[in-house]
């Protein structure tokens, strides 16, 4: 039933827009919303229709498309600062002027006179491939139906992608439905459907590079929807801990449990800061020359998480690369930390050697620390700094007793079993990957745990118990401060979430106390 | 408006003749206008024309007197005797400015056109259909900000004529319209109406019902009739706080006549016009809307009226024999006025966010605020291009049109007519200063989660270089959208548009929510430097500020609400509770910080030395010292959020430069620039410094100057300057051994020089004590906070952050309490009693210093702050009592000598308490005995051994540090010497000492 619309829209989106324009009788200001509604109805209602549209991604570079073809692009909003673009909403003979149509008109056909009343604005922003989106997630989204040629060309504006020198797609996005566009924020993950063209980056400048440009017909913000809470997942927890411990952490199940707690965390409230704590896995040996540089944990996490990024810290990287975004010449350069909400960041300190940390490096470390402590990231603009809220879970791997650079919420020294010591670093193909069903269960377990964290409650009885407990402990040991209480409460909350419980019970409180005590015992 | 038809200007030709003023022709013309004394004034002319500086005004010289006459005639006033001088000025100036286009060189043309001083030649070129346009051109009140449309809409001109021979449907008018119509590719940009001969239409702005003549009359009425009382009536209607007039007469002053006289006296050319004044003057309500919608037409018209009125007023004053306006002096003044270009600079619109600008605002007057992030160097902007034909040397001038100059394709002379021979003569073109500025949204205006937008501003003439990168400004300007040529080589334009603002008025330094303490600024210091225009400015500042902050009524509402709050009986408690509600207890600390936020009043002794005498700080400094994990940082962060101009710095991370000011090289200009750091940035606000103890000594030493003198001196890279840093400091420090050692005095617990500590008005020890009931409460609070869904905010009833912030801001700007005599007495009494605590102790023979004058000053500041918090005009008894209580609380915790349990300010001021001093004396006595006794006699004592023996004698432990202090003191006195290094040190008695 919808297929006729669908095929029309895919084959000649421009024509569909033009037809809609001719049919449209109401206020011309409403027209962009009408277009958005029409195309949303056609494409965004189900995944199947969405998949009909060719994706714009690493396998389908902008060059591989013909001019003005319909594409979908799943990307992260990197920069919303470009000035809105003005366009003529209607051209001669009742022709629609938006969606790049007027720019595309040959100069000879262009109206000699125009009415300033027909001017409208389009929101312009810059979007990039979602940084840190793991392969399985990308596959899930695109379905790899059409295998195009991978582009060898370097993307335009490479400084606008968080991970330097990484292959990605960067697109200038023009949204005509301004009200909807106002809601898009930096680091939001959005699926855009629109007409792909190539335009100059800055229409006002005399010489500016040509960049792929997407004239958006409709878009959808990625929702962090609730994962279904299924009973069978509860049993997955032990399996998962064991798998992570055996494959990536040298058989240390305690460390794996802490890792699991960490992965269940997200920003709960900001008013009274209840933020994901950061985790240091200390005593994590450095790779030997013969082993791969990246720990096995990297592969394991990228198989489990949808949003995951490894930053192999080194002095060189700290001193030269950007961690927080910075606006230079009115162009917002990205940094490692400009990643979507819910991303897990693995920072490996094993590559750090002796040397000098210059000012930039110090600022970078401060930026990471700021994310760990307050979940905010400062974007630098000339003469002003803007604080953006983030939701990033940070895990630090370090060789020493504690992280050289960061103060993390938890520090767990790794205790590997001698037999499994080698599995800390091994190539990807040596990992025993569970079957697809199990892997899917693991993934959905982690997603569910994260959801649970947002809903965990504390019963009246438990809170009384905790209070009593604290008073008693203080009497016994005066070195215990309020901070310890806060720390323990965080652990309890995380533990409840990782067990997919809705409530912190006295039992969980005691368990978390034991867990924390055993952690403390390890710390020298 | 019904001046009789004038037969004396029947054609444009004659006008022109009059303009360029060949003597014979003119006399006839001028005779018809008025009696002919013009010859008498001839001597005056050379001076006006001869001065090179006047050249640029040559055009207006010719134009304005005409309009002056026009205006007068329009009003039906008697024509002043000076009027006929006009023609005399013109000839003087025009040959000077354009010697080559003298009539003789182009005899073919009508004399009028060729010799017209402005650019008559351009007209026939651009608009061949209207060869008679010559007269129209002399109005060259070229304003950069209006320029792109000025050439299209010489509104001042047609309207002027509209008034001046409005019953004459002569071809002058049609010339004017011919002129403008063809150029306006964008019709609604408006221009005088269609080329019909009906005068009525001519006076309207194209496509509207706005009648320019009427508009001009309105503005004239306004300048002549506006009195401050109208504004206060208007403000009252809007429920705004109005400034009280000192005398009823003050409200009756004809404000703008005063301004105009001041303009004349100061030689200014700008009149800043608060548009709210237009709105409040009942007859001008319409004008307000017109100015907003059609600034390009209305502003030049206003300029014109301003000039007319300037002349008129000068004339009146001369007639009245006003001081400085008599006889020749007056004539000179008037001549001077004629030579000037006056500009009306409207402002006072509600500033909108730049995101809210949309295409429908194009060509309207709007106001936005933002942060200047980049400014180009001054660009010479060609206003009039001068072309000369290579074949026949005929010259032509072309005015800029929509940002570009249309090069004449062929020589306009019929005889010559050669194609492509017109070449530009650079040094004969006219240029204006122009600067392009990039304005970025301020952090407070950007929607959450979005990155800020930027917009381009074009500023011209006097406004150039007024704002520097980093300034926060509110600009009023005309919003433009101009089609962009995608390829500069292509002639066609694509449907892309670039937008920018042609700025007419700039106001510097509105900090948005970051209100700053105004008492720290010199009076009138906020006036825009550089353009220093006369007119509405500093006085209206506060009102504007309110407007800028969005909506008059909302502000009024808020104000009413704040006053409501101030009447609450539990005001003090609720405010203290609202400060960092997530932090449990610490009520006195919160109260102290609250008073810090309000601050005392800054005082200066007006009749002291030069420059108004010394200034006494009203800023209250607070230091928090305490165990880790006692939420000091949280308090600091919170204060940083609500404090006016709050700046947060962590002592560990900030170098000396970060906290003060540093010199860098600007990447754009390669110039050394001074960038101020946290302290200077927080001038007039609060600077929060965390980890105060971890700050390097060099950095901390800067604070000495800041905290008492409130300035930062810089001598770096050849720049030597003193910057103001009138800031309150809120610092947090950890004790030396991270945990507070209650057995040691505070100075030993915090590793800070006593000189610095004593500069803090309040010093709180935030100690972590084990106490069951307290612990239970704390646990309850934390559990509630971190585990339950509705966080318990430590109190039931708290003010939201923005309200608290508004309350503080309001109090700081509006309330300036003074001490009542009652309060003064109480202060004296409290101070005396505080001092006598130590003195009257019967158990002790020696006196302790418990309070110094520094504490008295602190008490005054605190009581003022408390009164300010109550919105009270006078400091009363209760304020002083509370201040003393807070002081006592703070002193009790910080200045208590741990050995004696007594309060001792000496601890803070010198670092040693009485008990300690007594102990040192004992130690010294014992040491001398030891040295003089048998064992050490002659060869002295070993360091270690002396320590050991002292320890044996003493009942309390002998502190190494104390010991070395004593030795050092004795060494300085010359009583003993120390020889050797480290362990091998020997203490020897100096013989004969």
The more confidently predicted of residues B642 and A463 is: A463
Q: pLDDT band at A346, cuts 50/70/90? A: very high
Taking the C-alpha atoms of residue A148 and residue B452, their distance in angstroms, rounded to an integer, is 37
Lowest mean pLDDT of A393-402, B293-302, B591-600, B946-955, name the range: B946-955
User: Residue A161 — φ and ψ, nearest 5°?
Assistant: -110, 135
Find which of B62-76, B164-178, B965-979 is predicted with most confidence, using mean pLDDT.
Answer: B965-979
pLDDT in tens, B4-28: 444 444 433 433 433 443 444 333 4
How high does pLDDT run on average in chain A?
82
Using CA atoms of B41, B46, B47, B49 in order, give the dihedral in degrees to the nearest 10: 120
Distance from CA of B887 to the nearest CA of A (A): 28
pLDDT value at B334 more than 80: yes
Structure confidence at residue A111 (pLDDT): 57
B770 shares contact with chain A (CB less than 8 Å) = yes
CB of B56 closer than 8 Å to CB of B430: yes
A136 CB-contact burial (10 Å; exposed 0-12 / middle 13-18 / buried 19+):
middle
Beta strands in A80-207 (DSSP E): 85-88, 90-91, 95-96, 119-129, 170-175, 189-200
User: How much of chain B, in percent, has pLDDT values that exceed 70?
Assistant: 52
CA atoms within 13 A on the CB side of B488: 6
Which whole number is the average pLDDT over B317-329?
A: 77
CB atoms within 10 A of CB B324: 12
Exposed/middle/buried for residue B933 (C-beta within 10 Å: 0-12, 13-18, 19+) = exposed
Res B93 pLDDT > 50: no
Residue B69 pLDDT: 42
So what's the ipTM on this one? Answer: 0.81
Q: Sheet containing B941-942: give its strands across.
A: B941-942, B986-989, B976-979
SS3 state of residue B778? helix
Taking CB atoms and an 8 Å cutoff, what residues of chain B touch A482?
Answer: 629-630, 778-779, 782
Lowest mean pLDDT among A13-22, B188-197, B433-442, B445-454: B188-197
pLDDT band at A44 (very low <50, low <70, confident <90, very high): confident
Query: What crossing angle do the helices spanning B587-598 and B877-894 adopt, rounded to 10°?
Result: 120
Which pLDDT score is estimated for B243?
58
Order across the sheet with B647-650: list the strands.
B647-650, B686-690, B728-733, B622-626, B762-766
Task: Round to whole Å and give the CA distance between B16 and B525.
Answer: 47
Q: pLDDT of A243-263, one tens digit each? A: 888 888 888 888 999 999 898
Answer whether residue B773 shows pLDDT above 50.
Answer: yes
Contact: B494, A102; criterion CB under 8 Å: yes
How far, CA to CA in Å, does A108 sit from each of A72, A98, A102, A104? 32, 18, 12, 11
Sign of CA dihedral B756, B517, B584, B855: positive
Q: Which of A88, A327, A362 sits opposite B495 (nearest CB)?
A: A88
**Of the candidates A80, A102, A116, which has its C-beta nearest B481's C-beta?**
A116
Closest CB to A121 among B358, B442, B768 = B358
A272 touches chain B (CB under 8 A): yes
10 Å CB burial of residue B241 (0-12, 13-18, 19+) is middle
Mean pLDDT, chain B, rounded, equals 65
Tokens read off for B372: 């200047």
Q: Which two tokens stand for residue A470?
A: 């604290």
**Which pLDDT tens digit goes with each residue over A107-123?**
555 555 666 777 788 88
| Beta-carbon-side half-sphere exposure of residue B210 (alpha carbons within 13 Å) | 27
**Token couple for B907:** 């601890």
Please report the pLDDT score of residue A443 as a whole number: 87
Interface of A with B in 106-125 (CB under 8 A): 107-108, 110, 113-117, 119-121
Q: Which two tokens stand for residue B471?
A: 């300034």
Q: How many whole angstroms separate alpha carbon B253 and alpha carbon A449?
A: 74
What value, to the nearest 5°, has the Cα angle with vertex B359 and ends A41 and B216? 155
The more confident residue out of B906 and B448 is B448
* Tokens (6 digits) for B137: 């051109």
Predicted confidence band of residue B484 (pLDDT cuts 50, 70, 90): low
pLDDT tens sequence across A419-436: 777 778 888 888 888 888
* Close Cβ partners of A385 (under 8 Å, ≥ 6 residues apart): A378, A379, B443
How would you classify the pairing of strands B818-819 and B719-724? Answer: unpaired
pLDDT above 70 (res A410): yes
C-alpha radius of gyration, chain A, whole number = 26
More confident residue, B405 or B41: B405
Chain centroid, CA B743 distance in Å = 51
The answer to whether residue B640 scores a pLDDT higher than 80 is no
Q: How far is A86 from chain B (nearest CA, A)?
A: 5
Is the per-residue pLDDT at B79 higher than 80?
A: no
**C-alpha–C-alpha distance, residues A324 and A362, integer Å:** 12
Read off the pLDDT of residues B599-629 as tens digits, 9 standing for 90 and up: 777 765 554 444 444 566 777 888 887 777 6
Residue A318 half-sphere exposure toward CB, CA atoms < 13 A = 25
Which residues, in sequence order, are CB contacts of B687 under 8 Å at separation 6+? B646, B647, B649, B678, B679, B727, B728, B729, B730
Query: Number of Cβ pairs closer than 8 Å across A and B?
Result: 179
**B177: three-class secondary structure by DSSP:** helix
- Condensed to tens digits (0 to 9), the pLDDT of residues B525-554 reads 333 333 344 444 433 444 343 333 333 445
Residue A347, beta-bridge partner list: A311, A396
What is the per-residue pLDDT across B904-942, written as a single tens digit (0 to 9) for each?
555 555 555 566 667 777 777 777 777 777 655 666 777
Tokens of A120: 């409208």
Q: How many CA atoms lie within 13 A of B310 on its CB side?
A: 33
Q: What is the dihedral of CA A212, A216, A218, A223, to 10 degrees?
A: 50
Highest mean pLDDT among A93-97, B104-108, B328-332, B493-497: B328-332
Q: How high is the pLDDT of residue A339?
A: 92
Residues 6+ apart with CB under 8 A from B528: B466, B506, B507, B508, B537
B598 is written with which tokens? 């309000």
B470:A383 CB<8 A: yes
B493 shares contact with chain A (CB less than 8 Å): yes
**What is the C-alpha separation between A38 and A20, in angstroms, rounded?**
9
Q: Hey, are the CB atoms on B498 and A388 less than 8 Å from each other?
A: no
Burial of B246 (0-12, 13-18, 19+ CB in 10 A): exposed
Residue B782 to residue A120, Cβ atoms within 8 A: no
């Amino acid at each position: 039933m919808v297929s006729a619309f669908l095929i029309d829209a895919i084959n000649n989106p421009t024509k569909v827009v033009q037809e809609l324009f001719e049919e449209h009788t109401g206020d011309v200001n409403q027209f962009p919303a009408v277009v958005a509604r029409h195309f949303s109805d056609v494409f965004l209602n189900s995944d199947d229709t969405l998949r009909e549209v060719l994706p714009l991604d690493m396998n389908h570079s902008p060059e591989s498309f013909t001019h003005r073809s319909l594409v979908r692009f799943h990307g992260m909003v990197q920069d919303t600062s470009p000035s809105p673009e003005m366009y003529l909403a209607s051209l001669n003979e009742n022709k629609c002027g938006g969606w790049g149509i007027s720019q595309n008109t040959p100069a000879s056909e262009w109206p000699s006179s125009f009415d300033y009343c027909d001017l409208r604005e389009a929101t312009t922003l810059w979007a990039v491939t979602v940084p840190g989106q793991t392969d399985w997630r990308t596959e899930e989204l695109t379905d790899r139906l059409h295998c195009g040629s991978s582009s060898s060309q370097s993307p335009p504006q490479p400084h606008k992608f968080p991970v330097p020198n990484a292959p990605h797609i960067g697109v200038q996005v023009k949204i005509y439905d301004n009200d909807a566009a106002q809601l898009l924020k930096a680091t939001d993950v959005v699926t855009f459907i629109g007409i792909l063209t190539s335009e100059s980056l800055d229409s006002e400048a005399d010489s500016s590079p040509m960049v792929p440009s997407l004239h958006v017909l409709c878009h959808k913000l990625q929702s962090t929807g609730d994962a279904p809470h299924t009973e069978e997942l509860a049993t997955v927890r032990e399996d998962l801990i064991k798998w992570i411990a055996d494959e990536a952490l040298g058989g240390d199940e305690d460390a794996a449990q802490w890792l699991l707690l960490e992965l269940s965390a997200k920003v709960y409230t900001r008013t009274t800061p209840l933020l994901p704590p950061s985790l240091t896995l200390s005593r994590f040996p450095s790779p030997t020359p013969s082993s791969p540089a990246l720990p096995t944990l990297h592969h394991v996490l990228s198989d489990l998480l949808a949003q995951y990024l490894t930053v192999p810290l080194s002095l060189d990287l700290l001193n030269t690369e950007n961690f927080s975004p910075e606006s230079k010449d009115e162009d917002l350069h990205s940094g490692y930390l400009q990643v979507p909400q819910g991303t897990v960041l693995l920072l490996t300190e094993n590559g750090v050697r002796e040397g000098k940390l210059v000012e930039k490096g110090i600022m970078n470390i401060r930026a990471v620390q700021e994310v760990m402590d307050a979940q905010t990231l400062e974007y630098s603009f000339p003469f002003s700094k803007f604080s953006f809220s983030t939701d990033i879970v940070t895990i630090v791997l370090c060789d020493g007793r504690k992280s050289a650079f960061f103060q993390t919420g938890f520090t767990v020294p790794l205790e590997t079993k001698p037999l499994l010591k080698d599995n800390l670093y091994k190539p990807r193909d040596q990992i025993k990957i569970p079957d697809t069903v199990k892997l899917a269960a693991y993934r959905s377990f982690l997603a569910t745990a994260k959801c649970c964290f947002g809903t965990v409650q504390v019963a009246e009885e438990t809170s009384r118990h905790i209070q009593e407990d604290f008073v008693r402990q203080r009497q016994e040991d005066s070195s215990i401060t309020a901070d310890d209480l806060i720390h323990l409460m965080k652990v309890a909350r995380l533990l409840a979430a990782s067990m997919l419980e809705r409530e912190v019970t006295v039992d969980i409180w005691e368990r978390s106390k034991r867990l924390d005590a055993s952690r403390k015992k390890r710390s020298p | 408006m019904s001046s009789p038809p004038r037969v004396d200007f029947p054609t444009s030709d004659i006008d022109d003749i009059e303009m360029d003023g060949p003597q014979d022709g003119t006399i006839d013309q001028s005779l018809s206008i008025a009696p002919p004394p013009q010859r008498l004034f001839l001597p005056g002319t050379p001076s006006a024309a001869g001065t090179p500086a006047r050249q640029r005004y040559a055009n207006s010289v010719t134009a304005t007197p005409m309009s002056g006459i026009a205006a007068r005639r329009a009003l039906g006033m008697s024509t002043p005797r000076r009027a006929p001088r006009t023609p005399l000025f013109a000839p003087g100036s025009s040959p000077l400015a354009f010697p080559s286009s003298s009539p003789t060189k182009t005899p073919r043309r009508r004399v009028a056109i060729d010799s017209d001083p402005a650019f008559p030649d351009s007209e026939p070129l651009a608009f061949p259909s209207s060869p008679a346009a010559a007269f129209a051109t002399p109005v060259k009140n070229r304003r950069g900000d209006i320029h792109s449309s000025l050439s299209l809409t010489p509104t001042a001109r047609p309207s002027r004529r509209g008034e001046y021979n409005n019953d004459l449907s002569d071809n002058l008018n049609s010339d004017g319209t011919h002129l403008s119509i063809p150029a306006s590719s964008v019709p609604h940009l408006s221009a005088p109406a269609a080329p019909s001969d009906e005068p009525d239409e001519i006076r309207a702005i194209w496509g509207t019902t706005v009648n320019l003549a009427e508009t001009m009359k309105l503005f004239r009425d306004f300048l002549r009739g506006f009195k401050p009382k109208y504004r206060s009536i208007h403000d009252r209607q809007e429920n705004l706080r109005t400034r009280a007039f000192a005398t009823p007469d003050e409200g009756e002053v004809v404000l703008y006549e005063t301004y105009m006289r001041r303009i004349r006296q100061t030689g200014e050319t700008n009149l800043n016009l608060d548009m709210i004044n237009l709105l409040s003057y009942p007859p001008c309500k319409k004008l307000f809307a017109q100015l907003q919608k059609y600034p390009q037409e209305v502003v030049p018209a206003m300029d014109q009226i301003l000039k007319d009125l300037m002349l008129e007023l000068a004339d009146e004053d001369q007639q009245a024999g006003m001081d400085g306006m008599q006889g020749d002096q007056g004539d000179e003044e008037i001549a001077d006025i004629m030579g000037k270009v006056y500009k009306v600079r409207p402002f006072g619109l509600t500033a909108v966010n730049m995101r809210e600008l949309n295409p429908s605002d194009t060509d309207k007057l709007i106001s936005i605020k933002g942060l200047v992030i980049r400014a180009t160097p001054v660009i010479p902007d060609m206003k009039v291009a001068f072309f000369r034909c290579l074949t026949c040397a005929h010259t032509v001038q072309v005015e800029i049109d929509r940002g570009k100059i249309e090069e004449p394709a062929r020589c306009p002379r019929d005889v010559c007519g050669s194609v492509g021979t017109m070449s530009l003569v650079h040094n004969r073109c006219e240029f204006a200063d122009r600067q392009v500025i990039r304005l970025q949204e301020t952090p407070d205006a950007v929607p959450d989660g979005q990155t800020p937008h930027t917009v381009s501003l074009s500023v011209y003439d006097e406004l150039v270089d007024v704002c520097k990168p980093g300034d926060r400004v509110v600009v009023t300007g005309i919003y433009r959208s101009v089609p962009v040529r995608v390829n500069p080589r292509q002639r066609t334009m694509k449907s892309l548009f670039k937008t920018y603002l042609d700025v007419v008025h700039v106001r510097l330094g509105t900090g948005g929510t970051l209100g700053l303490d105004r008492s720290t600024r010199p009076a009138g210091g906020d006036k825009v430097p550089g353009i220093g225009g006369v007119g509405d400015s500093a006085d209206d500042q506060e009102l504007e500020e309110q407007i800028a902050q969005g909506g008059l009524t909302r502000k009024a509402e808020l104000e009413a609400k704040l006053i409501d709050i101030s009447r609450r009986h539990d005001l003090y408690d609720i405010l203290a509770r609202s400060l960092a509600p997530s932090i449990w207890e610490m009520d006195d600390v919160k109260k102290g910080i609250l008073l810090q936020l309000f601050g005392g009043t800054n005082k200066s002794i007006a009749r002291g030395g030069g420059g108004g005498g010394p200034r006494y700080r009203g800023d209250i400094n607070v230091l928090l010292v305490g165990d880790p994990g006692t939420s000091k940082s949280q308090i600091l962060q919170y204060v940083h959020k609500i404090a006016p101009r709050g700046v947060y710095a962590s002592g560990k991370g900030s170098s000396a430069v970060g906290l003060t000011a540093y010199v860098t090289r600007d990447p754009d200009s390669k110039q050394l620039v001074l960038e101020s750091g946290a302290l200077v940035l927080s001038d007039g606000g609060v600077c929060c410094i965390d980890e105060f103890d971890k700050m390097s000594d060099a950095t901390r030493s800067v604070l000495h100057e800041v905290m008492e003198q409130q300035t930062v001196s810089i001598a770096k890279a050849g720049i030597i300057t003193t910057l103001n840093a009138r800031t309150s400091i809120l610092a947090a420090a950890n004790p030396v051994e991270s945990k507070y050692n209650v057995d040691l005095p505070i100075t030993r617990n915090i590793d800070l020089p006593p000189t610095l500590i004593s500069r803090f008005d309040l010093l709180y020890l935030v100690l972590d004590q084990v106490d069951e009931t307290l612990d239970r409460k704390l646990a309850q609070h934390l559990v509630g906070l971190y585990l339950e869904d509705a966080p318990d905010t430590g109190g039931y009833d708290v003010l939201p952050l923005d309200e608290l912030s508004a309350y503080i801001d309001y109090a700081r700007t509006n309330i300036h309490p003074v001490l009542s005599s009652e309060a003064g007495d109480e202060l004296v009494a409290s101070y005396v009693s505080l001092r006598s605590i130590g003195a009257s102790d019967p158990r002790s023979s020696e006196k302790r210093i418990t309070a110094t004058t520094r504490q008295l000053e602190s008490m005054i500041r605190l009581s003022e702050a408390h009164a300010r918090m109550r919105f009270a005009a006078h400091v009363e008894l209760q304020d002083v009592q509370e201040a003393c209580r807070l002081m006592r609380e703070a002193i009790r915790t910080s200045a208590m000598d741990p050995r004696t349990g007594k309060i001792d300010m000496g601890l803070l001021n010198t670092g040693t308490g009485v008990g300690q001093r007594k102990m040192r004396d004992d130690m010294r006595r014992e040491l001398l005995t030891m040295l003089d006794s048998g064992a050490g006699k002659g060869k002295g004592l070993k360091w270690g051994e002396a320590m050991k023996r002292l320890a044996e004698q003493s009942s309390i432990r002998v502190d190494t540090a104390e010991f070395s202090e004593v030795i050092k003191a004795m060494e300085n006195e010359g009583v003993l010497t120390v020889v050797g290094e480290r362990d091998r040190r020997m203490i020897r008695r100096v013989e004969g000492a």
